[in-house]
Chains A and B, each alone.
Chain A
Amino acid sequence: AQSVTQLDSQVPVFEEAPVELRCNYSSSVSVYLFWYVQYPNQGLQLLLKYLSGSTLVESINGFEAEFNKSQTSFHLRKPSVHISDTAEYFCAVSDGGSNYKLTFGKGTLLTVNP
């Protein structure tokens, strides 16, 4: 069975500050890892994903995450956040089997203050 732990339920930061949202997973098999973002009153959107290859993956809006197999982590980072980054962020894991079934963490609410 797989599980995902997001260590922080809420992260408040000031605009232009760096941020890290932490995610750890447990799985007995190789995994695919995802970060989804949920803006207020909207559905979840894929932010970035790790399937294979380079352990550092980036999104189009400046976020990046690094897959660390030894620490079973996939932390999300951004060097300088904007007000518009305020949202809930979910880390998810899939075993990459034919079903691509996702197991989600509980989410981290990122609040960017002016």
Chain B
Amino acid sequence: EAGVAQSPRYKIIEKRQSVAFWCNPISGHATLYWYQQILGQGPKLLIQFQNNGVVDDSQLPKDRFSAERLKGVDSTLKIQPAKLEDSAVYLCASSPYHTDTQYFGPGTRLTVL
């Protein structure tokens, strides 16, 4: 069984530029999560999808971050415009419907200069 795929693995941009990350969850997993992991901290949930609907986006900075999961499969997280404090690893995770275990991808390391 293929794991959660994320791309790109690394991205370096300048502040005020835009960037997008892509995630393909494990086949059949209804729930998809995006986390932000700043150096020295644990992952923080940004947004949770159930199929193509948003379940929780309470910690998503909506003035600059957006995410979509149009067909209930893969997902894109966008930052526009980026700030220095957005430098972090962005993790995608998925899980089958209504289960407790999340499966994580390798993450995308974003550096904002």
Contact = CB atoms under 8 A, between A and B. Distances in A.
Which label, helix, strand, loop or mixed, suits the secondary structure of the B interface? Answer: loop
A4 interface: yes
B14 interface: no
Given A45-B104, A49-B101, A99 B95 contact: no
Given A41-B106, A43-B106, A49-B100, A101 B40 contact: no
Q: What size tier do the contact residues of chain B reach?
A: 20 to 34
Contact of A96 (B41, B48, B91, B100): B100
A92 to B, nearest CB: 8
Interface in A46-78: 46, 49, 51
Interface in B1-18: 3-4
A43 B45 contact: no
Contacts of A98: 98
Nearest to A4: B42
Given A99-B48, A99-B55, A101-B56, A43 B43 contact: no
